[in-house]
Amino acid sequence: MLLRKRTAKTEAPSDAGGTLALALVEFSADWEQTLHNLSRLDLLIEHLYRDLPEKYPLFYPDVLVLPEFFSTGFTMNPDCAEFPDASPTLSWMTRTAGLYDCAVAGSIPVHLPDGERANRFYFVGQDGIIAQYDKRHLFLGGEDGNYTPGSQRVVFEYKGWRIMPGICFDLRFPVWMRNNPAEPYDLYLNVANWPSARKKVAEVLAEARAIENVCHVAFCNRSGKDVLLEYGGGSVVLNHRGRQKSADLDIDGTLVACASLDKAEMLRYRTSFPMLQSADEFFLQEPRPGAFLGGLRRRHE
């Protein structure tokens, strides 16, 4: 399950088989302490690579995945948002990618040119940003009033894999992430701050997203507590049939879910059972303000 052979850096076509090795780091961020958290991550990742040869000698990550708001915790504080062109967290991600010959993924709060802010996922290599995505479905517990929702689905290619990113609450909305012929993907990568109280919900949703889209799913959640909530961890990598592919590694008390994914196996399954050919076509529209939850939201204000 964790075997990955090192190969030359050539990009395979997106419809070719291949493996992709993921390490999901279930990091517990200290509240609004960006530089301190990045320093903690330096040590944690150093120890991860120290221990990998003994635990999984043939495994070497292509992607290090970190949770939503991994450098700040799930804060609404505008002072914690970063400007993308002068971001200490983005600089750290680029440096870490170069140091360990991998990509680094996670989300951070960023300032937008119009003065608003977004919850932005970054996928970063040693030469800088490979892809970015602004969270579409903002959580109703305050995030929706402090950040601007994204409006664009993103699918990008890395090492021959087509990847669709998502952030936490996005996991609940299958229409947004529906795999379709116009914009197909192989891996859905969700980074989260998902509370312990709804841990089972995340497990069921992640399995459903894998099965209905015939894709791999990686769900990287934080652990620990912040000033408001306790987080349940539960980071996992699933294959296209919703079956767990990851094995857990304890690094200084932090769980790291490690998996090597087989694209060829997924493509064979899609050929033998082409269920996506029967999927309904649809067109996304902007949600109406207050639709469905408008009354409920007013009662809680």
pTM (2 d.p.): 0.91
Domain-located, residue 282:
no
Domain-located, residue 283:
no
- pLDDT at res. 4: 41
CA angle 100, 105, 107 (to 5 degrees): 140
Look at the alpha carbons of 95, 96, 97, 101 in this order and tell me if their dihedral is positive or negative: positive
Compute mean pLDDT per 10 residues along the chain, 301 residues long, and list them: 39 66 98 99 98 95 99 98 98 99 99 98 98 96 93 97 98 95 95 97 98 98 95 97 98 98 95 87 69 40 29
Question: What is the domain extent for residue 62?
Answer: 20-269
Domain-located, residue 3:
no
Of 226, 202, 215, give the one whose Cα is nearest residue 164. Answer: 215
The reply to whether 225 belongs to the active site is no
Q: What is the CATH number of the domain that holds 191?
A: 3.60.110.10
CA distance 69 to 71: 6
Q: Based on the structure, what is the number of domains in the chain?
A: 1
Count of residues for the chain?
301
Which one of 26, 82, 135, 207 is the catalytic residue? 135
Domain-located, residue 111:
yes
CA distance 195 to 202: 9
The reply to whether 80 belongs to the active site is no
Which one of 102, 168, 215, 258 is the catalytic residue? 168
Domain-located, residue 35:
yes
CA distance 146 to 76: 6
Domain-located, residue 289:
no
The reply to whether 168 belongs to the active site is yes
Q: What is the pLDDT of residues 48-86, one digit of tens each?
A: 999 999 999 999 999 999 999 999 999 999 999 999 999
